[in-house]
Chain A
């Protein structure tokens, strides 16, 4: 079993919809949680970072962590075609980036 599980999609939704992307994990020691966005043929870029449990909001994006269920989510409100990308969850038990475990990514397409 992988430490981090992520549905690969693809997920296709109409413009303006609310998107929910999710990851589950098995290591209860994880306390640093990240979401990266990766456009086609580009490198990943950090979108959201959360430490421990709770919610974090940044514009149209909300990251949610439920440590009791070992489940994290990324919500995108008022989705735009420019949000079409692959979204990678990532997490770590340590602050060092050399310990980060990445999910396999969910491919998202927003239909105009």
Chain B
């Protein structure tokens, strides 16, 4: 069982280019999330999906889009990358345990936009 896989592991991208970060989970969790992690700012939610077919905006959604065609996959697309999108991106999924959601994170994608 792999849990959550992300691809690519790292990427250097020219500004203005389109990029899709891939995320796949094999735990059959309904909810999935995309975060970016920047030094001094912690993890910030970009977009989330509570179930296949639905998506929602997080704290920092501008410049990013997501889709959730099925339970397992939750790709994040940068339509036209800018240097401020240089960050480490984490995908997560969650399952309800007790009275709260427990999140599981992928290994991350390091993205550099030049």
> Is A bound to B?
yes
Interface residues, chain A, with chain B CB atoms under 8 Å away: 4, 6, 8, 32, 41-46, 49, 51, 88, 90, 92, 95-98, 100, 102-105
Bound complex: CA A90 to CA B100 (Å): 13
Tell me whether A97 and B94 are in contact (CB under 8 A). Answer: yes
Q: Is the interface of A mostly helix, strand, loop or mixed?
A: mixed
A/B interface sample: 25 pairs, CB < 8 A: A4-B42, A42-B108, A43-B105, A43-B106, A43-B107, A44-B90, A44-B105, A45-B105, A46-B102, A46-B103, A46-B104, A49-B100, A90-B43, A92-B100, A95-B96, A95-B100, A95-B101, A97-B100, A97-B102, A98-B45, A98-B56, A102-B42, A104-B41, A104-B42, A105-B42
Instruction: Find chain A residues with CB under 8 A from B99 CB.
Output: 51, 95
Bound complex: CA A45 to CA B43 (Å): 13
Tell me whether A98 and B107 are in contact (CB under 8 A). Answer: no
Name the CB-closest residue of A to B3: A43
* Segment 24-41 of B: residues with Cβ below 8 Å from A: 31, 33, 40-41
Interface residues, chain B, with chain A CB atoms under 8 Å away: 4, 31, 33, 40-45, 48, 50, 56, 58, 90, 92, 94, 96, 99-108
Name the CB-closest residue of A to B6: A43
Q: 7 more A-B contacts (CB under 8 A) besides A97-B101, A104-B42?
A: A43-B108, A49-B102, A97-B94, A98-B45, A98-B50, A100-B45, A104-B40
Give the contacting residue for B101; candidates A43, A51, A96; CB below 8 A. A96
Q: Which residue among A6, A42, A97 has the maximum number of chain B CB atoms within 10 Å of its CB? A: A97
Q: Is the interface of B mostly helix, strand, loop or mixed?
A: strand
Tell me whether A98 and B105 are in contact (CB under 8 A). Answer: no
Instruction: Find chain B residues with CB under 8 A from A45 CB.
Output: 104-105
Minimum-distance CB pairs A-B, first 9: A43-B105, A97-B101, A104-B42, A102-B43, A102-B42, A97-B94, A98-B48, A95-B100, A44-B105
A37 to chain B, nearest CB (A): 11
Tell me whether B42 and A88 are in contact (CB under 8 A). Answer: yes
